[in-house]
Amino acid sequence: MTKHIWIEKDDLKIMFVYKFGFDHSPMNKQEIADTIGVSMGSMNYRIGNFKAIEGEGKATNYAKLSLKIFNQYSHLSMQELKDIAF
């Protein structure tokens, strides 16, 4: 399997489920992983990036792209973020 190159749209989906959960997502976990082109394990790791940004969990490192997305879009409402992520 080739290494996935994360793009903004990928991280927007991940941040949406981090903030609002799969219950509010138009896609389930497997559908998001398939759409992005990663394993569910990679998706879980990426969710961990957003936890780390907010100082949650054990992780202390995170992707620069995830930080950029968080800083740019985390203030959006659930519907606003859903509209741009999906």
Using alpha carbons only, give the angle 82, 11, 79 rounded to the nearest 5 degrees: 10
Domain range for 74 is 8-85
Band (pLDDT 50/70/90 cuts) for residue 1 is: low
Residue 78 lies in a domain: yes
Whole-angstrom Cα Rg for the chain: 12
* DSSP-derived 3-state class of residue 59: coil
- Does 36 fall in a domain? yes
**Residue 1 belongs to a domain:** no
> Does the pLDDT at position 37 exceed 70?
yes
Do the domain assignments include residue 3? Answer: no
> How large is the average pLDDT for residues 42-47?
94
CA 2 to chain centre: 20
pLDDT band at 3, cuts 50/70/90? confident
Band of the pLDDT at 31, cuts 50, 70, 90?
Answer: very high
In a domain, 71, yes or no: yes
**Residue 25 belongs to a domain:** yes
Please give the average per-residue pLDDT across 58-80, as a whole number.
94
Q: Domain tally for the chain? A: 1
Establish if 2 belongs to a structural domain.
no
CB neighbours of residue 14 within 10 Å: 25
Q: What was the pLDDT predicted at 79?
A: 98
pLDDT of residue 12: 98
Q: Residue 22 falls within a domain, yes or no?
A: yes
